[in-house]
Amino acid sequence: MSKTLVRLAAGLFAATMIAGAAHAKTLVYCSEGSPEGFDPALYTAGTTFDATSKNVFNKLAEFDRGTTKIIPGLAESWDISEDGTEYTFHLRKGVTFHTTDFFTPTRDFNADDVLFSFNRQLKADHPMHEYVGGASWEYFNGMSMPDLIKEIVKVDDYTVKFVLNRPEAPMIANLAMDFASILSKEFADQLQAEGKAEMLNQQPVGTGPFKFVAYQKDAVIRYKAHEDYWGGKAAIDDLVFAITPDASVRYQKLKAGECHIMPYPNPADIAAMKTDAAINLMEQEGLNVGYLAYNTKVAPFDKVEVRKALNKAINKQAILDAVFQGAGKVAVAPIPPTIWSYNADLKDDTYEPDVAKKMLEDAGVTDLSMKLWAMPVQRPYNPNARRMAELIQADWAAVGVKAEIVSYEWGEYLKRSKDEDRDGAVLLGWTGDNGDPDNFLAVLLGCDAVGGSNRSQWCYKPFEDLIQKAKVVSDTAERTKLYEDAQVVFKEQAPWATIAHSVVFEPVRKEVSDYKIDPFGGHIFYGVDLK
Amino acid sequence: MLRFLLNRIAVLLPTFIGVTIISFLFIRLLPGDPIELLAGERGVTPERHAQLMHMMGFDKPIWQQYLTFVGDVLQGDLGQSIVTKRPVFDEFFTLFPATLELSICAIIFAIAIGLPAGIIAAVRRGSVFDHTVMATALTGYSMPIFWWGLLLIIVFSGTLGWTPVSGRISFMFFFDQVTGFMLIDSLLSGQKGAFASAVEHLILPTIVLGTIPLAVIARQTRSAMLEVLGEDYVRTARAKGLPPSRVIGLHALRNAMIPVITTIGLQVGVLLAGAILTETIFSWPGVGKWMIDSVSRRDYPAVQGGLLLIASLVMLVNLTVDILYGLINPRIRHRR
């Protein structure tokens, strides 16, 4: 009798094992390129973040998947001092780092890992500051962290305090960004002891939902679900990035079932994807803005009426139809509607060529010839700048403005468009980093950014006062009001013609469930399941 | 023969120096710099730009940078990629086996079909077969690789489902890379079905990359054969009553092969150019795609190192072809 029971139990056990094995769920993502490396703090490209920070690492604070809302990550909670210069983080306990072929952690995540992850970027004398040649910590620097952070203090094993040089309301949002990923100090120490610190950029060890298994450059990256993930094990067991650079080929692979999810479809394939029974075409407004920046320091663009008149001469709807082919929305404000504090009451400049012509005449501007800069590359906020420039050129010709389209190689374009005495209007755009309005308004229109990322060279005191105040106030309701007002000032002064916010499309096979498009443009596979 | 070989090698030295200069200058002559490209829309301040240029050694005078580059090359150091921060040499040789494997398959495919097609077309000159082969070769030669690759994918992978769309092997198979050649590694892995999967993945890229060399080889073989077939010694061979197979196979073919082998050798350069597009379409992890990415990112060390390695390999192949040429053609071997 007992023998039969044992046999039965063994049989049942074997059956469940087989069933379990048969149901090992593998999600294949046709990614668009190889990551530059596996230490997200060294890089700024989305492709690298997908392969690292979005799936392998955690940050102190995280963005709620599919939104720009900030939720606790490796920090369970945080307190901000009255004056807004001290951020105290209470760390989550019982969080494990990945156990892999190349590393077995002996301790849980704690304050040392936080200090390590930031100090290596902050302190020039940190042993890991230059652990690979040319480590420049570009994002950390780009977000002004070295000026901002005075010091990071370990209060105890599970409490860390960031002391700032000045109040900075977007700080928590900054710490949810990719460069703020938390790495294992223990692993870094081990690599250093073995004299191969550079492996930290090739074999990531994090606390995130997926652990790294293997990478073959330009071919495939393999991950496994982190069994002990603090948020619960991922629904899928294996995650594979099949690196497929060509968008048409990605679509063929998706159709053939060789992958489940693909990014960046060809605009020309969208119509076919919509009718494909095996594919669910997801879409979401991108966290971006495409704009045309006048040089407000150079006549006649220093006059508000001239800028307004040129704006009124542009038929934006025609641009949306021709250039975005439905994958975009007319932009009214300098921030996209998905960001909090977006001012929905703003009125856009209406398309009235006759009025525009009259306004130009009234401003004393006749026979205006100018340059119109068109980017040489496709960007999320502008799929075809050349075509867009041609349409604007034609619109302006109708009101008597002669525009000459100019373009340069991309690096050169970015550089030359910053010149303060630059001639003409520049087509460019921006994709948000952290979902904070400051990340658009201060970066693109603030006085500090003149000669840099402020391509309209626009420094306007009433606007600047509003955004500077909003930077130091920590109350969100108050900040919202300030930013709403700032957008009104922006619209009155018209340093840009706001053109479009693009819509992001992501085709996903029908068997994929619970996938959400990340507003930041990342690809996150925790929470995704296969039917 | 030794003298011939030494001569060839002596000629290679100035070529090699020329290649170091060109590969070094080429990427620097393009407008735009790597730091602006890395920073994107955000941009960097002029101070930070200067600091980074200094860090990467790009602020030194160009001749000094060149001398450093040559000095490092002589010590076997090709520098480190700006993007991945890994040694250029390692990056190149991680990817090179994939390109080599694909190129070898493509050239075998081109020879296996191009050579017999050219011979038969020459022997049956003016026949329907001849016209068909020559027309097809002309089409093949003019085929835009990108379009051709996508067409094959859409028909054979998309519609018919006979071949996989892209990649080197199905993601189901997972094993260590021993040689870097997927056909060999898949056999070594002992995993059932791995080799078949690797072969399936090779079919379309091989055809796409092999098409142009095939067309060139077929046309070259035909014209070389036609020339030889009109020679006196062939007529003599026929007159003494040798069977046609011997006349063509032995007397005609061996002599016709001399220009054909040169052509095949020259196809190596064509293959590398074709590999750039083929690798992009088929997500093939080779050096062609890597070079293109490096150029567009202005990754100076990767481009100059990669170009140098590719040029050296092409020179090596040409040297081998020259030697083969000598072996086949006694006139060269014994030339004084």
Which residues of chain B lie closer than 8 angstroms to A198, CB-CB?
85-86
Maximum CA extent, chain B: 85
Distance from CA of B83 to the nearest CA of A (A): 6
Comparing CB atoms, the residue among B45, B84, B171 nearest residue A220 is: B171
Which residues of chain A lie closer than 8 angstroms to B45, CB-CB?
452
A514 versus B238: the higher-pLDDT residue is A514
Which residues of chain A lie closer than 8 angstroms to B53, CB-CB?
none
**What pLDDT score does A10 carry?**
45
Grouping H, G, I as helix, E, B as strand and the rest as coil, residue A296 is coil
A212 versus B161: the higher-pLDDT residue is A212
Comparing CB atoms, the residue among B32, B41, B85 nearest residue A201 is: B85
Q: For residue B335, what pLDDT band results from cuts at 50, 70 and 90?
A: low
Grouping H, G, I as helix, E, B as strand and the rest as coil, residue A62 is strand
- A293 lies within 8 A of chain B by CB: no
SS3 string of chain B?
CHHHHHHHHHHHHHHHHHHHHHHHHHHHHCCCCHHHHHHHHHCCCHHHHHHHHHHCCCCCCHHHHHHHHHHHHHCCCCCECCCCCCEHHHHHHHHHHHHHHHHHHHHHHHHHHHHHHHHHHHHCCCCHHHHHHHHHHHHHHCCCHHHHHHHHHHHHHHHCCCCCCCCCCCCCCCCCCCCCCHHHHHHHHCCCCHHHHHHHHHHHHHHHHHHHHHHHHHHHHHHHHHHHHCCHHHHHHHHCCCCHHHHHHHHHHHHHHHHHHHHHHHHHHHHHHHHHHHHHHCCCCCHHHHHHHHHHCCCHHHHHHHHHHHHHHHHHHHHHHHHHHHHHCHHHHCCC
**What pLDDT score does B213 carry?**
93
Comparing CB atoms, the residue among A138, A258, A409 nearest residue B38 is: A138
Rounded-to-integer distance, Cα A264 and Cα B332, Å: 56
User: What CATH number does domain A26-278+510-530 carry, 3.90.76.10, 3.30.420.40, 3.90.1170.50, 2.40.30.10?
Assistant: 3.90.76.10
List the pLDDT tens digit at each of the 531 positions of chain A: 344 444 444 444 444 443 444 468 999 999 999 999 999 999 988 899 999 999 999 999 999 999 889 999 999 999 999 999 999 999 999 999 999 999 999 999 999 999 999 999 999 999 999 998 878 898 898 888 999 999 999 999 999 999 999 999 999 999 999 999 999 999 999 999 999 999 999 999 999 999 999 999 999 999 999 999 999 999 999 999 999 988 999 999 999 999 999 999 987 888 899 999 999 999 988 899 999 999 999 989 999 999 999 999 999 999 999 998 878 899 999 999 989 999 999 999 999 999 999 999 999 998 999 999 999 888 889 989 999 999 999 999 999 999 999 998 888 898 889 999 998 899 999 999 899 999 999 999 999 889 888 999 999 999 999 999 999 888 889 999 999 999 999 999 999 999 999 998 999 999 999 999 999 989 999 999 999
- A257 lies within 8 A of chain B by CB: no
Q: Chain-wide mean pLDDT for chain B?
A: 88
B293 and A33 in contact by Cβ < 8 A?
A: yes
Nearest to A476 by CA among A352, A338, A339, A359: A339
**What pLDDT score does A452 carry?**
86
Q: How many CB contacts within 8 angstroms connect chain A with chain B?
A: 138
> β-strand A402-406 against A369-373: which pairing, if any?
parallel
- A249 lies within 8 A of chain B by CB: yes
Rounded-to-integer distance, Cα A351 and Cα A313, Å: 6
B40 and A133 in contact by Cβ < 8 A?
A: no
**What pLDDT score does A5 carry?**
44
0.90 exceeded by pTM: no
User: What CATH number does domain A288-504 carry, 3.10.105.10, 3.40.1000.10, 3.40.50.1460, 2.40.160.40?
Assistant: 3.10.105.10
User: What CATH number does domain B92-297 carry, 3.40.50.720, 1.10.10.60, 1.25.40.10, 1.10.3720.10?
Assistant: 1.10.3720.10
A42 and B85 in contact by Cβ < 8 A?
A: yes
Comparing CB atoms, the residue among B86, B158, B280 nearest residue A255 is: B158
Boundaries of every domain in chain A: 26-278+510-530, 288-504
Angle formed at CA B317 by CA B316 and CA B321, multiple of 5 degrees: 120
pLDDT single digits (tens) B281-331: 999 999 988 998 898 888 999 999 999 998 888 888 888 877 877 777 767
Which residues of chain B lie closer than 8 angstroms to A201, CB-CB?
85
**What pLDDT score does B32 carry?**
75
**What pLDDT score does A23 carry?**
64
Q: For residue B334, what pLDDT band results from cuts at 50, 70 and 90?
A: low
